[in-house]
Amino acid sequence: MVIHRKHILPPKDLDLPRTIHDDRHKIENVQVPIITVSASFRSDIAKSLGEHTREKGELAFSRAHFSMAIAVYEQAKESGLSCWLVDPVNYIGSEGWASLEKIEYVGQLIARNPILKKAKDILDSFIRSKSPLTKHIEEPLGYVTARAVNPIISLHYEAGNILAKNNKKVLQVVTDPHVRPQYLLQAERKNISFAVFDEHTKKQFLDLAIELKKEVSNDRVVVTGPPVDPRIIEKRKGKNADGYKKRGLRLAITTSGLGTNYGEIKQALESLLPVLTERKMEILLYASTHLDFYKMFYELGAKNSLPIGGENSKMPLRIIYDKSIIAANQKLIDSAFGWADGFITKPSGDMAYDAVAAGCFLLTLSPWGEWEEKIFDIFTRLGIAKAIDAGNFVEQLDRLEQENWFSRAINNALNIDDIFLNGAKNIVDLQQKL
């Protein structure tokens, strides 16, 4: 039922006033409202809705929080439910935008500097507790969800905590098999429930609640599995664990939302590209929204006299890049998951989940934090993942092929437990019951 109420215009300091006002009404009326904090997609808003921003450029903090939100959105549509997805980063005004640009710059700098990365690891929890992100998204998030009546699925704890504090009914997705203290800031409120990775994560959540002296009932922490886009799961159909033996190995080599693992990826490519043609391998390089990765990929291709094509070309070396996180993610879904035998990626809560759900093996880059170490451990135990040896990458590939590891790992991915495939559906079903 559509509820007609008096129009309340957004605060004047927010950007995209027409879009946020329209989004407010959609969030009010849909059966499955979804909120994330991941990236801006203002250029896409300009193309589709014709509203332009005061500030130029885009921000991208995380593919994971975007792709998981899209996964839930696509699942809700597939389930025949009305849904809408909002990221409040898009509406932030000039002052807040400038502050977030600095945060993004620092994040990208840390992602490319091993010394800064080590400092980040030591101070991770402190940095998260002092992040200025909360104050910048609070106003637009409060406005766009003010009239929401159905439980809101949150894919980022910053959003979930604000919504819970605003007395909205919230299903907070704990996106990794790892529970940060920030997830429990509003956990005592009866209006917030939690969707977690597995039973071990649920136990960790409840144990941490006891440690922090938070009263959280068992029934508000529900095991759903990780949210994976149903379009990606569809890509596993028809895959053959031995298919690469007839045509050569297909590898997707990917970076993340902030552009992590630059050095490792470059080192692996410097080892692999000189022998690419003779080995009849095919490589798809995912630069995401990062121009420096895009340039590095092209420079290495030229250095080895290898022509490079776009994602839809038939060349053995291809690149996915786009300024828009929406477009980059869609290209990845369309061109990578159904095509690849394996992914070279950090063991992140988006790319790793997605690749395995698509029936691919993982050769993992250095993890970004403790939560990714846990993801690596899970998929290693399941016989799907190994750590990459970037300095001896070709030798590692030869050894794994001789051991028939690729076939075994792909087969393990194709036979993985349903909890890794049904997470998005379980989350939507849970939201409908709240």
The predicted-structure confidence for 362-381, as pLDDT tens digits, reads as follows: 999 988 788 889 999 999 99
- What pLDDT is attached to residue 400? 97
pLDDT at 68 over 50: yes
Interacting residues of 247 by C-beta distance below 8 A, sequence separation 6+: 280
Q: Is the pTM of this model over 0.95?
A: no
- What pLDDT is attached to residue 5? 60
**Residue-wise pLDDT tens digits, 95-149:** 888 888 887 777 777 766 666 555 555 445 544 545 677 888 999 999 999 999 9
Q: For the residues 188-212, what does the mean pLDDT come to?
A: 97
- What pLDDT is attached to residue 127? 45
- What pLDDT is attached to residue 103? 77
pLDDT at 419 over 70: yes
Measured CA distances, 111 to 121, 256, 262, 264, 299 (Å):
11, 9, 8, 12, 21
- Taking the alpha carbons at both ends of the chain, their separation in whole angstroms is 18
Neighbours of 194 (CB within 10 A): 27
**Residue-wise pLDDT tens digits, 142-173:** 999 999 999 999 999 999 999 999 999 999 99
Spatial CA neighbour of 385 closest among 422, 419, 348: 348
Joined tokens for residue 377: 């451990």
Q: For the residues 288-308, what does the mean pLDDT come to?
A: 92
- What pLDDT is attached to residue 60? 77
Q: At what angle do helices 423-433 and 63-78 cross, to 10 degrees?
A: 70
Per the DSSP assignment, residues forming a β-bridge with 319 are 285
Per the DSSP assignment, residues forming a β-bridge with 250 are 282
Q: For the residues 9-14, what does the mean pLDDT come to?
A: 90
**Percent of the chain at pLDDT exceeding 70:** 94
Q: For the residues 48-66, what does the mean pLDDT come to?
A: 82
Q: Which residue has the higher pLDDT, 370 or 283?
A: 283
- SS3 string, the chain, reads CCCCCCCCCCCCCCCCHHHHHHHHHHHHHCCEEEECCCECCHHHHHHHHCCCCCCCCCCECCHHHHHHHHHHHHHHHHCCCCEEEECHHHHCCHHHHHHHHHHHHHHHHHHHCHHHHHHHHHHHHHHHHCCCHHHHHHHHHHHHCCCCCCCEEECCHHHHHHHHHCCCCEEEECCCCCCCHHHHCCCCCCCEEEEECCHHHHHHHHHHHHHCCCCCCHHHEEECCCCCCHHHHHHHCCCCCCCHHHHCCEEEEECCCCCCCHHHHHHHHHHHHHHCCCCCCEEEEEEECCHHHHHHHHHHHHHCCCCCECCCCCCCEEEEECCCHHHHHHHHHHHCCCCCCEEEECCCCCHHHHHHHCCCEEEECCCCCHHHHHHHHHHHHCCCEEECCHHHHHHHHHHHHHCCHHHHHHHHHHCCCHHHCCHHHHHHHHHHHC
- What pLDDT is attached to residue 43? 85
Name the burial class of residue 237, with classes exposed (0-12), middle (13-18) and buried (19+) by CB atoms within 10 angstroms of its CB.
exposed
- What pLDDT is attached to residue 330? 93
Rounded Cα gap, residues 368 and 118, in angstroms: 10
**Residue-wise pLDDT tens digits, 17-34:** 999 999 999 999 999 999
Spatial CA neighbour of 257 closest among 65, 106, 34, 90: 65
Domains in the chain (CATH in brackets) are 17-175 (no CATH), 231-419 (3.40.50.2000)
- What pLDDT is attached to residue 126? 43
Spatial CA neighbour of 172 closest among 159, 189, 188: 159
Joined tokens for residue 404: 């028939």
pLDDT, the chain, mean:
91
At 395, is the pLDDT very low, low, confident or very high (cuts 50, 70, 90)? very high
Q: Read off φ and ψ for residue 29, nearest 5 degrees.
A: -100, -20
pLDDT at 333 over 50: yes
Q: Read off φ and ψ for residue 113, nearest 5 degrees.
A: -125, 110
Contact 264, 294 (CB under 8 A): no
Q: Which residue has the higher pLDDT, 122 or 267?
A: 267
Q: For the residues 229-254, what does the mean pLDDT come to?
A: 95
- What pLDDT is attached to residue 177? 94
Measured CA distances, 222 to 66, 67, 198, 211 (Å):
22, 21, 9, 19
- What pLDDT is attached to residue 380? 97
Q: At what angle do helices 133-144 and 157-165 cross, to 10 degrees?
A: 60
- What pLDDT is attached to residue 3? 46
Contact 160, 184 (CB under 8 A): no
Per the DSSP assignment, residues forming a β-bridge with 363 are 344, 386
Contact 84, 27 (CB under 8 A): yes
Joined tokens for residue 129: 């507790």
- What pLDDT is attached to residue 19? 94
